[in-house]
């Protein structure tokens, strides 16, 4: 299977404080990979660096074999990297429908857009009942659904989910992971960034552990499951 996203020797810093150090990732096409790490370990920085919202000091990235180092954020999104997550949020004063349409910002054909919307309504029935409601008035769980749907509608080559289950009630967490399972079945390439190690490892086939800005483990999820990293309560 070919590699969808390849990250080599990525270094970033906030001012003079180094953040990520020598990060390497290989996200295989059609697979779910997860990055596990505690708060402040650099997970979100990694995600933002992939989208060029945090500038990399060093390192190169390839998307589907093409070097994307010089691409600004909007180009990376247009070319198929979508990001979603609980903290990413929605456009609060826009309706659910407009939020979804903003997700498909680069789809100009009205017919294709309508088809995509229909697909989303089938996979996220919760949203269909709320189309004309302002996103800011949704419940936390519904908003997370909307955030994921907004990223999925773009049909990304790589879907990055940054802590999608953060702050959700257990029943909603289940639902979020059900969606990830479904997307996995559709062969979507997903990079799942999580603190919930057990759940994340259950859906993913490859796992990374990030600590203090460096990848300290990379390997198959079932190996990671039994390793010291997952048993370590700090995680």
Partner 1 sequence: MVPMGYLLDLIGSAVLLGCTYTLVAIGFSLFFGVMDVVVFCCGDIAIFGAFSILASYTILNGLGVTGTWPLLLVILLLLLIGILFCAVLGLLTHRFSIKPFEKSSALMPLLSTIALGTVIREVIGLMFMPVTNGVADMVAGENAVHVVSGRNPQSFPSLLSLGGSTAARNIIIVLVTVVILLLLFLFLNKTKTGLAMQAISQNKELSLMTGINVSRSIVITFVIGGVVLAISGFLVGSYQTIMSFDNGSMFGIKGFSAAVVGGLRNTWGAVLGGMLLAFVEVMVSGYVPNGSAYASILAFVVVVIFIVFKPEGIIGEKTVEKV
Site for partner 1 contains 64 (CB under 8 A): no
Between 153 and 230, name the residue whose CB sits nearer to partner 1: 153
Count of helix runs (H) and strand runs (E) in the chain: 10, 10
Torsion of the alpha carbons at 148, 152, 158 and 163, rounded to the nearest 10: 0
Closest CA to 168 of 201, 202, 140: 140
How many residues sit close enough to partner 1 to count as binding (CB under 8 A)?
29
Judged by beta carbon, residue 63 or residue 215, the one nearer partner 1 is 63
Binding mask 153-172 for partner 1 (x = CB under 8 A): -x------------x-----
Three-state SS at 202: helix
Closest CA to 29 of 173, 220, 235, 190: 190
> Which listed residue (23, 54, 63, 83) binds partner 1 by CB under 8 A?
83
Burial group, residue 110, by CB count within 10 angstroms (0-12, 13-18, 19+)? exposed
φ/ψ (deg, to 5) at 219: 170, -170
Closest approach of partner 1 to the CB of residue 12, in Å? 16
The CA distance from 120 to 85, in Å, is: 17
- Name the residue nearer to partner 1 (CB basis): 44 or 204: 44
120-149 positions binding partner 1, by CB under 8 A: 136, 140
Q: Interface with partner 1 includes 44 (CB under 8 A)?
A: no
For the CB of residue 71, give the shortest distance to partner 1 in the complex, in Å: 11
> Which of 73, 114, 181, 232 contacts partner 1 by CB under 8 A?
73
Backbone angles phi, psi at 165, to 5 degrees: -95, 5
Cβ at position 220, least distance to partner 1 in Å: 30
For strands 58-63 and 3-14, give the pairing. antiparallel
> Which C-beta is closer to partner 1: that of 67 or that of 78?
78
Residues found near partner 1 in the complex (CB under 8 A): 51, 53, 72-74, 77-78, 82-83, 86-94, 98, 101-103, 105-106, 136, 140, 150, 154, 167
């Amino acid at each position: 299977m070919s590699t969808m996203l390849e990250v080599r020797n990525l270094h970033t810093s906030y001012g003079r404080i180094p953040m990520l150090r020598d990060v390497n990732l290989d996200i295989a096409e059609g697979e779910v990979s997860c990055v596990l790490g505690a708060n402040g370990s650099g997970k979100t920085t990694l995600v933002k660096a992939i989208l060029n919202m945090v500038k990399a000091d060093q390192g190169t990235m390839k998307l589907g074999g093409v070097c994307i180092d010089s691409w600004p954020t909007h180009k990376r999104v247009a070319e198929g990297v979508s990001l979603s997550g609980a903290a990413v949020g929605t456009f609060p004063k826009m309706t659910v429908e407009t939020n979804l349409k903003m997700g498909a910002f680069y789809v100009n054909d009205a017919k294709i857009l309508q088809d995509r919307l229909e697909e989303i309504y089938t996979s996220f029935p919760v949203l269909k009942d709320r189309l004309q409601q302002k996103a800011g008035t949704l419940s936390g769980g519904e908003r997370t659904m909307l955030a994921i749907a907004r990223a999925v509608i773009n049909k990304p080559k790589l879907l990055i989910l940054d802590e999608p289950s953060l702050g959700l009630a257990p029943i909603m967490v289940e639902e979020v992971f059900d969606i990830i399972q479904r997307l996995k079945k559709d062969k979507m390439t997903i990079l799942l960034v999580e603190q919930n190690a057990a759940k994340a490892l259950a859906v993913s086939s490859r796992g990374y552990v990030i600590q203090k800005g460096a990848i300290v483990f990379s390997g198959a999820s079932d190996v990671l499951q039994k390793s010291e990293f997952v048993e370590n309560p700090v995680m």
